[in-house]
Amino acid sequence: MQHRFHPLVMALATAFAATAQAQVAERSPSSLGEVVVTGQRIADLPENSRLSGRQVRDLGVATSDTAQLLRDVPGVFLQGAGGVSSLPSVHGLGDDRLRITVDGMDLISACANHMNPPLSYIDPSHVDEIKVYTGVSPVSAGGDSIGAAIQVSSKAPRFAKAGEGVLTTGELGSYYRSNGDAFGVNASATLATENFSLRYSGATAESNNYRSAKAFKPDVNATNLRGGTRVIAGDEVASSAYKTENHQLGMAYRLDQHLFDLRLGYQHIPNQGFPNQHMDMTDNKSTQVNARYTGDYAWGKLEARVYNEHTRHKMDFADDKRYWFGASANIAGMPMTTEGKTTGVNVKATLPLSARDLLRVGGEVQRYRLDDWWDPVANSNGMSPNTFWNINNGKRDRRDLFGEWEATWTPQWQTLLGMRISQVEMDTGTVRPYANTGDANATVAMLNMQAADRTAAATFNASERSRSNTLVDLSAMARYTASSTQDYEGGYARKSRAPSLYERYTWGVGGMAMTMNNWVNDGNGYVGNMDLKPEVAHTFSLTGNWHDAAKQDWSLRVTPYFSYVDNYIDATCAQAKTGSACAAGKYNYLTLVNQTAHLYGIDVSGSARLAQVAGVGEFSFRGSLAYTRGKNHDTGDNLYNIMPLNARLVLEHRLGNWTNTVEEQLVSGKDDVSATRGEIKTAGYGLLNLRSSYRWQNVRFDIGLDNALNKQYGLPLGGAYIGQGSTMSLSSSTTWSGTTAPVYGVAVPGMGRSLYAGVNVSF
């Protein structure tokens, strides 16, 4: 039986928090005495959600995907991808529309299918703190985005105390999860004096395909590229396995009020399946060099960073996917390779001008290079005889300047005003299909099959490809502390984003080329548009925050928001380029266009301390509810990948070092879907999750049961299930077959019941 999430849940959750509020408010002062505001005031306003190290550890054992650590933040949801590569979505905006940094590095996904997003480059066990600006974000949090800002930080360097001698610390942890037979190990060690710190952290994780609660398809015999045959069970979510390892070596030197911090990182993902992609990741190697300086001076604080990240990424059909060519199945895969290089420099100064005024000024430079090429495939008229260049020497360079003024006018009133100007320069070299007229090894059959791509490449190469965009961001926020039990924040932001290299410069219009370019996981094929304009979003947000005077017993926070987006980059049928008409009930070939859109919604969250019983422990409640709606003004269509009405209710019990949690996740049916992209509707559902942890001296034990009642459900943001079969073809088939493309219209199923356990030892 499918569960439907009725809006009554919203009323019950709000009433619960409001009742707790009213009970404690009777004992709270009704007027405000003196309010003392210290530190970086605006940075800690209600719309800035912060996950501490403890909160991260509470969730880390249950997932190998760092993005999953954000699941408790109101308004934040996850677009399904690989097992360690989910894409955060905040208030209906995700992927390139967000500004995501990892240890201050502004990383870019170097993949036509965005298989290596920024958060995939750090293991959950390495995360120490996460900041999320879900509403109106300050310009100092980053530019070239129209949505939220997410800042993930690993652990800061530790130093020995004066007279302590040499400090040595370490951690060792491991976990097991039953669904997918997932296993992971993480370790870290620190050796430090008063002035020098050396730290290493490493982690590895792997999993087989996970299983849903029930069969959602018949068992299918799959012939993989290596010639073997196996049965993919009806409840097995194919192409969901993964293996990953991450390493970081950190060195830091501290002298008086100055800190020099150098971090060297290496990641290797030898395989990661994607159930909602036509391809799988068959190798991903990344190296990172990240150097930071911070210094405190009489005039203020100076921060500077320089970083470089180099990714070599490969895609192909893994064992669950195959490409059939006639009865012999003699096509040996579809290799695709990308190489991305990102170099960045950013500098920020914080200047206390007076007791009232604080000024932040800074600048950034980012240089990005991308090559994306596909090696020829033997025995294929459509993929030979030469290398296909999807993007050749792609360039995307950005230069930013920003200024931000924070003022405390009275103990009750604070404001923040900021402006950022960005210049984005983009270009790319000439491209080529697999076969051109005059190629020595090109046969007539090859030239005929690739005629559309040959024409498209000639047109692309003859075009003026360089583009320059000036982006202007503005933010204005104000906070009013009405009393010791209530405060309010409101703001407006104008934020802008230039298109990505893939949105502008993917050019192939042949069926195979378009199928290989899809960064939104909807099963369709895409071609870019060089004439895209930057997106410009006008966002308004208001937050009301009510709580007890000590901020310990209860809280209720409500945040409505609205965004109007000019030149929103959406999809439309690519018939003018491909000659193929689009129709409902099948995957289609689409292109990108600028249109107008709006998004609006509300986040509600609250908490209450319920009871303290001697010998039994403390009981508390927290909950959140979120609703988002997005519409395209030009077409009247719904925006793609918008999370339906949902809630999360948590009951927590603490007794000494023992913590127990009962969590209910409720999601409404998803009926407002994008017709243009053929988005799949999903039914409502409710999931019960159980967690328990115990700390004994320096050892922490975790155990939990996710989806305890083993409910079957489809992921609302999981995209189209194309995890097995001949995924290169776009099919309208509605019946399963071992020799055809995947069935159209099947949502990626969520994971069935999973028992997990973990242990972590610190010393």
Q: Is 66 helix (H, G, I), strand (E, B) or coil?
A: helix
Is pLDDT above 50 for 15? Answer: no
CB-based contacts of 241, cutoff 8 Å, min separation 6: 83, 180, 206, 207, 208, 209, 271, 272, 273
In a domain, 168, yes or no: yes
More confident residue, 585 or 83: 83
Task: Dig out the tokens for 40 from the structure.
Answer: 């970086």
Rounded-to-integer distance, Cα 90 and Cα 585, Å: 29
Residue 445 to residue 395: CA distance in whole angstroms: 34
User: Which segment of 35-49, 169-183, 220-234 scores lowest on mean pLDDT?
Assistant: 35-49
Q: Which of 26-35, 356-365, 558-567 has the lowest mean pLDDT?
A: 26-35
d(CA 193, CA 750) in angstroms, rounded, equals 48
pLDDT per residue over 531-542, tens digit each? 999 999 999 999
The rounded distance, in Å, linking the Cα atoms of 613 and 415 is 43
Confidence label for 18 from pLDDT (cuts 50, 70 and 90): very low
Nearest-Å Rg of the Cα atoms of the chain is 26
Cross-strand bridge partners of residue 395: 369, 427
> Which amino acid, residue 85?
S
The least confident of 182-191, 304-313, 372-381, 392-401 is 372-381
Residue 704 banded pLDDT, cuts 50, 70, 90: very high
Q: Which residue has the tokens 């971090």?
A: 263
Q: Calculate mean pLDDT across residues 297-308.
A: 97
Q: Look at residue 3 in the predicted model and tell me its pLDDT.
A: 41
Structure tokens at 685: 């559902």
Angle at 479 between CA 474 and CA 480, to 5 degrees: 150
Block residue for tokens 């959406």? 570
- DSSP SS3 for 120: helix
How many C-beta atoms surround the C-beta of residue 323 within 10 A?
23
Any idea what DSSP says for residue 185?
Answer: E
**H or E element that contains 368:** strand 357-374
**Does residue 617 form part of some domain?**
yes
Centre a 10 Å sphere on the Cβ of residue 573 and count the other Cβ atoms it contains.
Answer: 17
pLDDT at 730: 77
Three-class secondary structure of residue 203 per DSSP: strand
- Check residue 566 and give its pLDDT: 98
Q: Given a cut of 60, is residue 34 above it in pLDDT?
A: no
Q: Is the dihedral of CA 313, 319, 324, 329 positive or negative?
A: positive
Largest distance between two CA atoms of the chain:
87
- How is residue 43 annotated by DSSP? G
DSSP state of 70: G
Torsion of CA 208, 210, 216, 222, to 10 degrees: -10
The mean per-residue pLDDT over the stretch 443-471 comes to 96
| pLDDT averaged over every residue in the chain | 90
**Segment 484-497, tens digit of pLDDT:** 999 999 999 999 99
Helix (H, G, I), strand (E, B) or coil at 575: helix
Q: What are the pLDDT digits (tens) for 306-352?
A: 999 999 999 998 888 876 554 445 566 889 999 999 999 999 999 99
Helix, strand, coil proportions of the chain in percent (round to 5)?
A: 10, 50, 40
Q: Rounded to whole angstroms, how far apart are CA atoms 536 and 498?
A: 9
Residue 3 lies in a domain: no
Q: Over 711-749, what HEC string results? A: CCCECCCCCECCCCECCCCCCCCCCCCCCCCCCCCCECE
Rounded average pLDDT over 192-213: 97
pLDDT tens track for 387-414: 999 999 999 999 999 999 999 999 999 9
Among 452-456, 718-722, 723-727, whose mean pLDDT is lowest? 723-727
Q: Which residues are CB-neighbours of 450 under 8 A, at least 6 positions away?
A: 381, 382, 433, 434, 435, 510
Q: Which residues contact 426 (CB under 8 A, 6 or more apart)?
A: 394, 395, 396, 397, 466, 467, 468, 469, 498, 499, 501, 504, 505
Tell me the average pLDDT across 704-717. 98
Average pLDDT over residues 279-300: 97
Are 430 and 422 in contact by the 8 Å Cβ rule? The answer is no
Asked whether 549 and 34 are in contact (CB, 8 A), the reply is: no
Strands 258-272 and 242-255: antiparallel
Tell me the backbone φ, ψ of residue 362, rounded to 5 degrees. -170, 175
Give the domain CATH number at 480.
2.40.170.20
101-124 burial, b at 16+ Cβ within 10 Å, e below that, comes to bbbbbbbbbbbbbbbbbbbbbbbb
Q: Return the DSSP state at 211.
A: B
**Residues 190, 168: Cα–Cα separation, whole Å:** 6
Using alpha carbons, list the distances in angstroms from residue 252 to 191, 263, 293. 11, 8, 10
The DSSP result for 405-471, as a single string, is: EEEE-SSSEEEEEEEEEEEEEEE----B-S--TT-TT--HHHHHHTHHHHHHHHHHHTS---EEEEE
Domain count within the chain: 1
DSSP collapsed to 3 states, 101-151: EECCEECCCCCCCCCCCHHHHCCHHHEEEEEEECCCCCHHHCCCCCCCEEE
Show the 3-state SS of 508-568.
CCCHHHHHCCCCCCCCCEEECCCCCCCEEEEEEEEEEEEECCCCCCEEEEEEEEEEEEEEE
Query: In sequence order, which residues have a C-beta less than 8 Å from that of residue 80 and are 6 or more positions away?
Result: 86, 275, 276, 521, 715, 717, 718, 719, 748
71 contact partners, CB below 8 Å, separation of at least 6: 59, 77, 78, 648
How far apart CA 596 and CA 339 sit, in angstroms, is 33
Phi, psi dihedrals of residue 8, rounded to the nearest 5°:
-55, -30
Whether 2 maps to a domain, the answer reads no
CA distances from 457 to 193, 388, 510, 679 (A): 59, 10, 11, 30
Residues of the domain holding 491? 8-762
Q: Is the pLDDT assigned to residue 2 strictly greater than 60?
A: no
Encoded tokens for 636: 């009247």
pLDDT value for 135: 82
How far apart are alpha carbons 108 and 99 in whole angstroms?
Answer: 10
Residue closest to 591 by CA, chosen among 672, 505, 680, 674: 505
Alpha carbon 619 to chain centroid distance? 32
Q: What's the pLDDT tens digit per position in 60-112?
A: 788 999 999 998 899 999 999 999 999 999 999 999 999 999 999 999 999 99
Residue 675 and residue 636: Cα distance in Å, rounded? 10
Q: Which of 593, 715, 604, 641 is nearest to 147 (CA)?
A: 641
Residue-level length of the chain: 763
Determine the residue type at 444.
V
d(CA 124, CA 122): 7
pLDDT at 580 over 60: yes
Report which DSSP code applies to 269.
E
Q: Could you tell me which of 645, 474, 493 has the C-alpha nearest to residue 75?
A: 645
Question: What 3-state class would DSSP assign to 116?
Answer: coil
Query: Who wins on pLDDT, 56 or 637?
Result: 637
The per-residue pLDDT for 732 is: 63
Q: Which of 23-37, 227-241, 505-519, 613-627 has the lowest mean pLDDT?
A: 23-37
| Residue 1 in domain | no
Q: Using CA atoms, how far apart are residues 499 and 146, in angstroms rounded to an integer? A: 11
* SS3 letters across 597-644: EEEEEEEEEEEEEEEEECCCEEEEEEEEEEEEEEEECCCCCECCCCCC
**pLDDT above 90 (res 24):** no
